[in-house]
Amino acid sequence: MRAKATCLTLVLAAACGPGPRTDPGTVDARPSSTIDAATGPTIDSELADFSLVYAHSGQELYRIDTQTLAPVLIGPLTGLGAQSLTDLAVDRDDHMVGVTLDNLVSIDPATGATTLIRDLGQDSNLTSLSFVPTDLDDPQSPERLLAATDQGEVLEIDPATGSLTVVGSYGSTAGGIIRSSGDLVAVRGFGIFATVTIGDTLTDPDYLARIDPVTFRATPLGIGTTYDRIFGIGFWRGTLFGFVDRGNGTGGSFIELDPVTGASTLISDGAIRWFGAGVTTDAPIIE
């Protein structure tokens, strides 16, 4: 989710990218799970394949069925007015928040209805959003709501008030500044990943990058993906997914991202223009 001019829930994440976005099923009832104070959420056999991977267009919220890899429409993102959602994030207690280019909103994960938390200002340019555990190896550690901008800054957002604090930067390479190109995702026991673009040519293919949990410096992986505008990242049972906006009138792509090489593999093309994705930080790691 990004503004080109200036600029999955799989695990707890959110997505966004350069360039204002314009938008080009049915509600799925969610079963409940039990939570143990020591071990976190437990999933019985009936719930084992009910994913909490969320993705969205500018105006609609979806859940991804990780068995069929098909999007399931939850509902319209009511309350946004003329704006589009550029990313969302889900905490371990399933509270969902999202951002437009200048607003922070709460989202009802059962209906898609949004409520304004705070106007962040027209210059915020947030292109990625995710809840991030302070300790990726501790299931009980507190979580921070982080966002990244099209200039590579990493900000902490107070989810109650919307106040912003700069906590780090993606840094730069020999090719130029590393900018957020679309999303940020954090997974307990797995790590923090983001989609980024390097330098000032914002139409170049995006990179998958590993993010340092202390400094938030980005390490781009491999030679990049073959896709621009990867505005969402999701994760479920060991697999990283990417959600691509192919542009006005051309729909979107659903891809798999390799967390070691950074390579991308097409899963499917469709009519939905993907603007972001997110998933709980407690998403299962192993299939």
> What structural domains and CATH numbers belong to the chain?
13-278 (2.115.10)
pLDDT the model gives residue 139: 82
105-123, pLDDT tens digit by residue?
999 999 999 999 998 876 6
Average pLDDT, the chain: 82
Looking at residue 21, what is its pLDDT? 45
pLDDT over threshold 50, residue 170: yes
pTM of this prediction? 0.82
The predicted pLDDT at position 66 comes to 83
Q: How far apart are CA 147 and CA 278, in angstroms?
A: 13
SS3 249: coil
The secondary structure of 219-248, three-state, reads: EECCCCCCCCCEEEEEEECCEEEEEEECCC
DSSP annotation of 31 reads: P
Distance of CA 17 to the CA centre of its chain: 10
* The two structure tokens encoding residue 219: 């390490």
- pLDDT computed for residue 51 by the predictor: 62
Please tell me the predicted confidence (pLDDT) of residue 224.
Answer: 94
Nearest to 86 by CA among 208, 234, 231: 231
Burial of 213 (0-12, 13-18, 19+ CB in 10 A): middle
Contact 48, 33 (CB under 8 A): no
Q: Which amino acid is at 38?
A: A
Rounded Cα gap, residues 287 and 271, in angstroms: 29
| pLDDT of 34 above 80 | no
